[in-house]
Amino acid sequence: MTSTGLLLCGLAVLAWYRSRSDARARPRGLKHVDLKVARAHLHDPPPRWVWQTGARGPLLALAILSAHVDVVAALSRPPVWAMLAALLLVAVYLPQLADLGWALARKAIARGYTRLAYRLAKLSATTWREDREGGAVLAAAWASYAKPTFDPDDTTWVEDKLHKLPSLAGAGVVAQGLLAANRGDRDQARTLMHSAASLRNDDTPAYAMTVAWDWLIADAAADGRWHEVIRIAAQPLDLSPTAKLLAAIAARLDGQPSPPDINLKALWLAAGKHRQTLPWRDRALSCKRVLYRQKKAAQPATQTPAEVSGSDLQKALGLHAQLRREGPVWLRLRPKKLAELVAAWERVFAGKSLLKQLQRRIIRLEAPLDGAEVIARYRRQICEDIANFAQAAEVSLVDAIGPHADDSFAAQAVYVLRSRLLVHVEQLSDTLHNRVRSGREKLPIDEWREWTQLRESCEHATRLGGMDARRVLFPQVHKACCAHAVWLWNERKQYAMAMPMFRWLLQEAEAVGDEAAIELQRKNAEVKH
């Protein structure tokens, strides 16, 4: 009686949660809701099944407990009761049995058996329910990546399977990311893993995204980018226990708010591979736990123009060289340094001393030169260098330097950077548009890669060039990307790939306020196949 009551309670909780998550999953028409909320739903759809939520563990434990209590109780009762109890037990363990294929495939993956992993993953009834073919290819790519050395034959075999997928979805993109990582191309792998996040929809198994986030977290931890580990883990994602442990360790090592020692130990126990993780767990435990984000003590500036002795030119050059030497990561953390540098150069070019110094040298060298022309060339070189700094450090020059006059040095630097960014995006969108118009097909994964590259450069241009760059770019990018997505949907039936493109175009259209494009992309984003 008690156990049946417990089970009924569990089912009630499940039904309640399901109805709640269903209600959240369906915004009632995009026109009548807050656009921010709508966008959040489009890009981060809430979980639809209780098994994809944090309630999975407690519910499963409740069901198993009640089934076991029933079996024990039924032993002293008539056989009908015993049979019913046994049936209940089977029902509880059925999901585990149904996913036996994947459990075995994981063993094959760990041993690097590519073909076996592929076949076993196909038997998985729950993990890859939404995309069994894609899941099998992902398992094969993972197994190939688990081998102690790179095996070109295996990789070719997996690529062949990937290219034969009828429709590319999230699992296929993650598989391609693993193949890129297997070849040693981590940049490409990183891009593909990030891009898989935009493919999150009903066709994408949640586990594919877990693999993608795990890889990104491992990639950041392997380089010591603990900040990045924390940033990824802070998002509402379905991470593996090992990734959760890494996030907790990263928080301790980086001096960020972190879980208490007992939780860290529990995460370590849940993660597995205890011998390999033990030294890092102990290292994290030896770090002092931080409860709140602490403000870093103000550090003395390592170098400012005022500290360097000499002329304005020498001060500006000193700062310029410092930024070059410290590198893009340093500059990313101190974007104001870029403003200081631009201000220092502004002083150099506003004064007369540079021209005088140059004219003295021209006379000394007896060269038939115009000083103003030489300064213009020098100024152009400096602008190019500053644009390089901003691009490498991913710092928005417009935001860093703030308002400026149209004829200032700052305006020229912004112009150089913006035109460079726009030219790159325009080249990519022209290439894509021309290819779509001529109907030249690529493999689905290459179509996705080309679109990802265009989207990333567009977002990069927006980050660095600001809203002005975004508005200038939108019409051309919209034309090329919309034609591409429509072609993929209508002609090539790549629904899973086309839908994120429509959603992204909708997001961009809303950002720049293009009413016609908003209406068109809303219709496109709501189409069902």
Partner 1 sequence: MQQQQTDPLADNPFFVLGLAPDCSRQEIEREGQKLLGLLELGLSRAATYQTPLGPRERTPELVRGAMAELRDPKRRVVHELWADVAQATSVAHERAEQAQASPGEAPAWTDVWQLFDWRAP
List of residues contacting partner 1 (CB under 8 A): 109-110, 142, 145-150, 178, 181-182, 184, 186, 214-215, 218, 221-224, 226, 240, 242, 246, 253-254, 271, 273, 276-277, 280, 302-303, 307-310, 313-315, 317-318, 320-322, 324-326, 354, 358, 361-362, 364-367, 369, 374, 377-378, 381, 385
Name which of 248 and 488 has its Cβ closer to partner 1.
248
Name which of 169 and 216 has its Cβ closer to partner 1.
216
287 DSSP assignment? S
The H or E element that residue 499 is part of is helix 495-512
CA distances for 528 relative to 32, 46, 496, angstroms? 20, 19, 11
Q: Where would I find the beta strands (DSSP E) of 393-484? A: none
Give min distance, CB of 461 to partner 1, in A. 22
Give min distance, CB of 275 to partner 1, in A. 11
241, amino acid identity = P
Name which of 162 and 181 has its Cβ closer to partner 1.
181
Listed residue (107, 174, 170, 171) closest to 143, CA to CA: 107
Name which of 252 and 503 has its Cβ closer to partner 1.
252
Give min distance, CB of 250 to partner 1, in A. 8
Q: Around Cβ 269, how many Cβ atoms within 10 Å?
A: 12
Name which of 71 and 362 has its Cβ closer to partner 1.
362
Give min distance, CB of 357 to partner 1, in A. 8
CA distances for 273 relative to 113, 214, 243, 484, angstroms? 20, 15, 12, 45
Give the 3-state DSSP-derived string for 360-400, with helices as H, strands as E and coil as C. HHHHHHCCCCCHHHHHHHHHHHHHHHHHHHHHHHCCCHHHH
Give min distance, CB of 211 to partner 1, in A. 8
Name which of 230 and 397 has its Cβ closer to partner 1.
230
Name which of 203 and 219 has its Cβ closer to partner 1.
219
Give the 3-state DSSP-derived string for 214-282, with helices as H, strands as E and coil as C. HHHHHHHHHCCCHHHHHHHHCCCCCCCHHHHHHHHHHHHHCCCECCCHHHHHHHHHHHCCHHHHHHHHH
> Do residues 461 and 424 touch, judged by C-beta distance below 8 A?
yes
Q: How buried is 390 (Cβ within 10 angstroms: 0-12 exposed, 13-18 middle, 19+ buried)?
A: buried
Give min distance, CB of 220 to partner 1, in A. 9
Q: How buried is 127 (Cβ within 10 angstroms: 0-12 exposed, 13-18 middle, 19+ buried)?
A: buried
Give min distance, CB of 394 to partner 1, in A. 19
Name which of 150 and 415 has its Cβ closer to partner 1.
150
Give min distance, CB of 419 to partner 1, in A. 17
> Do residues 211 and 138 touch, judged by C-beta distance below 8 A?
yes
Name which of 58 and 224 has its Cβ closer to partner 1.
224
Give min distance, CB of 369 to partner 1, in A. 6
